[in-house]
Chain A
């Protein structure tokens, strides 16, 4: 049952979308949405979508109320908050509006705003999904699938052919043979699966702010890739001098103090891929975040070796994000750029502060791979 209000409601939703798009950069750099994530939806506070009018300022006017208390006593809550029972629609209330959006919609908005291209499927379609589509017409079927137009047409055709059609009294009576029904066909649809491998340096030089940046960025990467692929998995690897696989929570919370051997993480990533995600059937997205401080030149060379031989051939794209930290030398990104200057499969990005997150997302995902 569709309501009349649906039209107004959908226009309102469009305005909300526009408003979110306008403020998207702010939402991204503040990381506000992370705490508001449900299973498939995020709830987004939208400031001031109401119609502005000439009104008195917020704290200019007091009011009158009833109850106990002496002059000078504080009122328990903000008096303008909340509205009691009342007639509907005559007062809007001052709350910021909370709008719920599916992650899918959010990804759309992200894509529009950052002009992200859709990802070209690499043709790794080993997994097959079955789907019914209504594309045909048959002579038999359940009444709920009646095809009025086609039924009418065949009845008309029959009556004209038999000469029983009277244009002055155009009554069409379908017989059983005239009935047409929609029919469906089961199609096999290849499903593209993808895995995101997050790797992060948790050595002493990565501070809380650096990790927060990684957390925010990974939320948006997740959102976008989830939109692109139906089934998506995420794996998390942390490393200092040694690497290990952890769950999401641990990934963002762990803090170690050891040194940094990036090759350990790459080696583990390569193992996970070899073991669980054959590159023939999986789209693989390794993301590595670090402050760019590696233990030794030898280790860096080892990393380059693993990348060239194992990771790059298996992955759609390999992304390296370097977070600026007061302790790191930031050398690693230069090394990578030197070794892979002409390889489009390896994307590097420097994330100096939260405001740079947007740009870095665009660099990572803007290639459409």
Chain B
């Protein structure tokens, strides 16, 4: 570790640039954590990038794999990491040694956009660890947090062997994406139900319709109705018997609380879960975050930072960042354009009832109320939205047309990927689908005592796309490793309800 502490200090000429750029950034209203820049050689950069930005993370082979991948593609000249920024207070950003000065300036400007976003977007509030008692500053000591995680895992690896620990962590990582994005915002139910409350399972009355005259009874509440009401009650009672009573989306949390784990297993699982929640906001706001940072690097570079001799180099670099390719969504491009679009609309007053109801094309085209609210609006948007709500609210038909957005899909008959549609509705639907739940299938724990054999039952809420089955098989194994009992996932395969089951020895896939 010593090498990091010793060699990464920012040289003076970059230090000067940082101060300058920080001033410009503050001038346009960006609000960021104190920021530390460090300069890394490409080896160090690849290493830190492999660790997801945290040089102190817990030991695991997949960082090694990522490192191999990054180093290879760097050596072959396929890719280069320009910057890395960590959501921490103070924020840490890494610059690549040997980049041109224009590139370094661009990265700095971009980084301030990110840090403003980290600090102010509501999704990232969940990564906050509280407020500093003295100055009320947002506490985000994630560098320390990750180092602590590393210490925990290392401790157990030393005691019981790295292979054992790593195998278990592999299992936990297979479940890493099974968390509940809403959970951090739900009120914490601190008071567990007392046994008193649960002590009286009174038999509820069958709810019947009010009958004023007795002879009407059999007409208003016929036999079948009474029967169906009874059944409903019985069902509810059964539901209440179940554990969990409501389907639980935070599968990792559920396992942490209820699986029969040893102490080391519990601690390792907790590490994986904490980190999964830490990285979640970055997945929920990829388009906004990159769009916001690109928006600001573009404005700061062209308006304040660059001199005439640098502008062409900057433009070339910026263009390559914003380039689009068939079949790939560039979040930088989509994000920056959408922010610009919003700014333009609010500058010209293209919002509100009057605007929505106007269907005169000519009028709309020249609509300009000179409201000048654009800047204010985009700052509001960066605070209060995530990718899903951002797209849902601000993607407009004009924008889809202007930006040539299209929806694509796989055409079985032609055995190739094709453009499917350019209509606004289709594009928006497709985009929202792929962003929902950060692109992960929605999985919840239904029953921890399935078949009254303490087996675990999970359900995949099928929304049109099937699961990748070979991986699902491995995941059932991972689940049963943690749960220590047979595990079943109910999903839909080729439009048939299907149960994927692993009983500790054999895996089976059965149509229900």
| Chain A positions near chain B (C-beta within 8 angstroms) | 1, 3-5, 7-15, 49-80, 82, 84-90, 92-93, 97-99
Flag if B62 contacts A89 (CB, 8 Å). no
Flag if B434 contacts A72 (CB, 8 Å). no
Q: How far is the CA of A84 from the CA of B324 in the complex (A)?
A: 9
Flag if B67 contacts A56 (CB, 8 Å). no
- Listed from nearest, the 5 A-B pairs whose CB atoms lie closest are A79-B327, A62-B409, A12-B64, A88-B49, A9-B64
Flag if B471 contacts A53 (CB, 8 Å). yes
Q: Can you list 29 A-B pairs, Cβ within 8 angstroms, ordered by A?
A: A5-B51, A8-B60, A8-B64, A51-B176, A52-B470, A53-B175, A53-B176, A55-B467, A57-B465, A57-B469, A61-B434, A62-B408, A62-B417, A62-B430, A63-B327, A64-B430, A65-B326, A66-B404, A67-B324, A71-B419, A73-B418, A84-B330, A85-B82, A85-B321, A86-B290, A88-B81, A89-B50, A90-B283, A92-B66
Partner pick for B441 among A8, A50, A56, CB 8 A cutoff = A56
Given contacts A65-B324, A66-B403, A79-B408, contact A51 B68 (CB under 8 A): no
**A15 → chain B closest CB, angstroms:** 6
> Which residues of the other chain, B, contact A51 by a CB distance below 8 angstroms?
62, 170, 173-174, 176
> Which residues of the other chain, B, contact A73 by a CB distance below 8 angstroms?
418-419
Given contacts A12-B61, A53-B176, contact A71 B421 (CB under 8 A): yes
Q: How far is the CA of A87 from the CA of B466 in the complex (A)?
A: 28
B12 within 8 A of A: no
> Which residues of the other chain, B, contact A75 by a CB distance below 8 angstroms?
326-327, 408, 416-419
Given contacts A9-B64, A56-B467, A90-B283, contact A67 B406 (CB under 8 A): yes
> Which residues of the other chain, A, contact B47 by a CB distance below 8 angstroms?
3-5
- The range of chain B's interface size is 35 or more
Partner pick for A85 among B320, B422, B468, CB 8 A cutoff = B320
Q: How far is the CA of A57 from the CA of B466 in the complex (A)?
A: 6
Name 9 extra pairs, CB < 8 A, besides A5-B47, A90-B282: A12-B61, A52-B174, A56-B439, A63-B430, A66-B324, A85-B82, A87-B84, A88-B49, A89-B52
Interface centre among B325, B407, B475 (most CB of A within 10 A): B325
Partner pick for A3 among B43, B62, B465, B467, CB 8 A cutoff = B43
Flag if A59 contacts B410 (CB, 8 Å). yes
Flag if B67 contacts A8 (CB, 8 Å). yes
**A81 → chain B closest CB, angstroms:** 8
Q: How far is the CA of A77 from the CA of B44 in the complex (A)?
A: 33
Q: How far is the CA of A55 from the CA of B178 in the complex (A)?
A: 10
B433 within 8 A of A: yes
Q: List the B residue with the shortest CB-CB distance to A7.
A: B59
**B379 → chain A closest CB, angstroms:** 23
> Which residues of the other chain, B, contact A15 by a CB distance below 8 angstroms?
61
Flag if A56 contacts B468 (CB, 8 Å). yes
Partner pick for A63 among B176, B404, B408, B469, CB 8 A cutoff = B408
Flag if B419 contacts A97 (CB, 8 Å). no
> Which residues of the other chain, B, contact A65 by a CB distance below 8 angstroms?
324-329, 405-406, 408
B512 within 8 A of A: no
B335 within 8 A of A: no
Flag if B407 contacts A88 (CB, 8 Å). no
Flag if B406 contacts A64 (CB, 8 Å). yes
Partner pick for B326 among A9, A62, A79, CB 8 A cutoff = A79
Q: How far is the CA of A92 from the CA of B430 in the complex (A)?
A: 22
B168 within 8 A of A: no
Flag if A88 contacts B324 (CB, 8 Å). no
Flag if B404 contacts A11 (CB, 8 Å). no
Flag if B467 contacts A64 (CB, 8 Å). no
Q: List the A residue with the shortest CB-CB distance to B433.
A: A61
